Amino acid sequence: MNDLELSRAIEDVLVARNPRGMKTLQAAMTPGYYLRAAQLLENIEGNVIIGTGFPVAGSFETDGPVGAIALYEALESLGATPWIACAPPLADRISDRYRVVSLTITDVDSAITEAREQLAKLQPKAVISIERPGLTEDGRYYNMRGVDISEHCGVFDPFITEANCPTIGAGDGGNEIGMGNLRETVAGLSINGAITTCDELVIADVSNWAAYGLIALLGRWAGRDLLSQIQPVTILEYLSELGSVDGVTGENTITEDGMAASEGLAVLRELQTLVADTEAAAS
C-alpha cells in the first residue's frame, strides 16, 4: 500500500465499531484525511499545542487525554516540544509530568485574548484538538446528552481559530472542536453540533484512537514503530489515579466511552498490522 491507501485503511479501522455514527461522517469526508493531517506534523520542530479534556461529573473524561499523552510522547520523541492545553482539574494534576497550558477562562471573548497571548508566546508550529468541546451556534458548550456544560469548559476554540499555523481536530461524536468542517452532516446527528473548524479533521469511534492513526503514519515515515511505545492501559491507570471518569458511565474506571481498555489495545494491534504489512509489501 502507498501512503494514501494506508491512510484509507486506517480510516476504516478507526470507525469500524461505529457506536456514535462516525461512519456517517466518514462518508462525507474526502478519503486520505489521516494522511493529510499527519503530513502537517511530519518532521515538525518547535512547540506543538495539543488541546484536550472534556468535563464530566466535576472531573475530566478518559477519552482525549490518553490520545493527547500518546501523541505528546510520540512528537517529543521525534524532536518537537509538545504542550497539553487543558482546564482544571486535569491541568493541575498532570503539570508535574507534562508541559501544560492551563485553560481557566470560560468567557469566549476573554478567551480570545488569552489565546492570542499564548500563541504569540509559544509560536506553535501546529495546534491540535483531541476531544475538546466545540462551541455551538449559540456560543455554548454541550455534552452528548445535550446538557449545557459551558461553565465547566475552559475555552480552547480560539487557539484553533486564531492560530497562524496548521490546525487539526479529532472527535468522535460531533460536538468537538473541528466538527464545524462537517457542519451540515453533523446537523443530522442527535447532538448539539460544534461549529469550530480546523485545517484537517480526523474522526474515530473513540477520539483517543485518532491520535494512534496519526502516530501510525508519523512512525512509518520516521522508520520507527511508535505504536508499540503507546501504553494505553498505563495511561488510563495514571489518569484514574488523578480522578478521571468514563465519559459515558461517569465512573472512575479504566475504560474509554464505555468500552473496555482491550478495545483500544485491539485497535493498536490492527494499526500495527496495517503498517507492518505496508512495510513488508514495500521491501
Tell me if 75 sits within 8 A of 41, measured CB to CB.
Answer: yes
pLDDT at 39: 98
pLDDT at position 1: 87
Q: Which residues contact 154 (CB under 8 A, 6 or more apart)?
A: 53, 86, 87, 88, 91, 102, 103, 104, 105, 106, 111
* CB-side neighbour CA atoms (13 Å) of 208: 30
Residue 162 pLDDT > 80, yes or no?
A: yes
- The beta-strand segments (E) located in the chain are 46-52, 55-56, 59-60, 80-86, 100-102, 126-130, 167-171, 200-203, 255-256, 259-260
pLDDT higher than 90, residue 277: no
**197-237 per-position pLDDT tens digit:** 999 999 999 999 999 999 999 999 999 999 999 999 999 99
Give the start-to-end residue ranges of the domains of the chain: 3-282
Instruction: Examine the pLDDT at 183 and tell me if it is beyond 80.
Output: yes
Rounded average pLDDT over 57-76? 97
Q: Among 195, 84, 83, 70, which Cα is nearest to 137's?
A: 195
Parallel, antiparallel, or unpaired: how do β-strands 259-260 and 55-56 relate? unpaired
**How far are the Cα atoms of 36, 72, 88, 167, 239 from residue 53, in angstroms, in the given order?**
24, 14, 9, 17, 11
Give the mean pLDDT of the chain: 96
Within a 13 Å sphere around the CA of 61, how many CA atoms are in the beta-carbon half?
A: 28
Q: Please count the other Cβ atoms lying within 10 Å of the Cβ belonging to residue 92.
A: 13
Alpha-carbon gap, residue 89 to 92, rounded angstroms: 5
> Which pLDDT belongs to residue 279?
80
**What integer pLDDT is reported at residue 197 of this predicted model?**
98
The predicted structure's pLDDT at residue 180: 98
Which amino acid, 12? D
Query: 128: which 3 cell numbers?
Result: 491540535
Cα–Cα distance, 251 to 23 (Å, whole number): 27
Q: What is the CATH code of the structural domain delimited by 3-282?
A: 3.90.1640.20
For residue 190, pLDDT over 90 is answered with no
**Percentage of the chain exceeding pLDDT 70:** 100
Per-residue pLDDT tens over the stretch 116-138: 999 999 999 999 999 999 999 99
